[in-house]
Amino acid sequence: MSRQAQRDISINIIKAHKSEPKNMLEEAIKLQAKARTEQQPFQDVWLVFDDDNRKDHKHVFDKAQKNNFKIAYSSISFEYWYLIHFFKKAIVYSNADNAKRELCNYIPGYCETLAGVFELLRPLYKTKALPYAKSLQRQKAYSNMYTAYLYKPITNVNELCEIILKFGK
């Protein structure tokens, strides 16, 4: 990537006012419409969320695809993405708390707001998390991000990470 291209890239991380995926989606639609009105449309919009035993995923995934938004998804909880940095197991957690408890075995004192998690996991990304996420996707016959909700366990957060890391070069 050229230096000019790197200067032209801007990544905006916007935390949704409500964390339910359907609410995140509606906020993203409004923000994209506003950006288009201001003649500065976003090239890509990513929604990042987990399963958390929600039932309305098909609607969210379908509408995200219709709006050309991308999805970084992890079954049951985002912590599953973190866990595959430490082990290669296809565990279907019954709830997010079970995944968080297991993560505490690898990151003592882990909580959702713990600072430094990404830096702690970064050295394990290429050697553990990325190959295992791809292996899991092959095992589940995962075809694209808009069908991720059909599979358990699954994570495709690696797809977003690969893009972020590409821009970081």
Q: Which of 5-9, 71-75, 118-122, 161-165 has the lowest mean pLDDT?
A: 5-9
The string of pLDDT tens digits covering residues 28-81 is: 999 999 999 999 888 899 999 999 888 879 999 999 999 999 999 999 999 999
The string of pLDDT tens digits covering residues 101-149 is: 999 999 999 998 899 998 999 999 999 999 999 999 999 999 999 999 9
Residue 7 reports pLDDT greater than 70: no
Residue 6 reports pLDDT greater than 50: no
- Say how far apart CA 28 and CA 18 lie, in whole Å: 12
Domain extent at residue 60: 3-168
- Say how far apart CA 88 and CA 124 lie, in whole Å: 12
> pTM for this one?
0.88
The angle that helices 57-66 and 21-37 make with each other, rounded to 10 degrees, is: 10
Q: Structurally, how many domains does the chain consist of?
A: 1
- Say how far apart CA 138 and CA 90 lie, in whole Å: 12
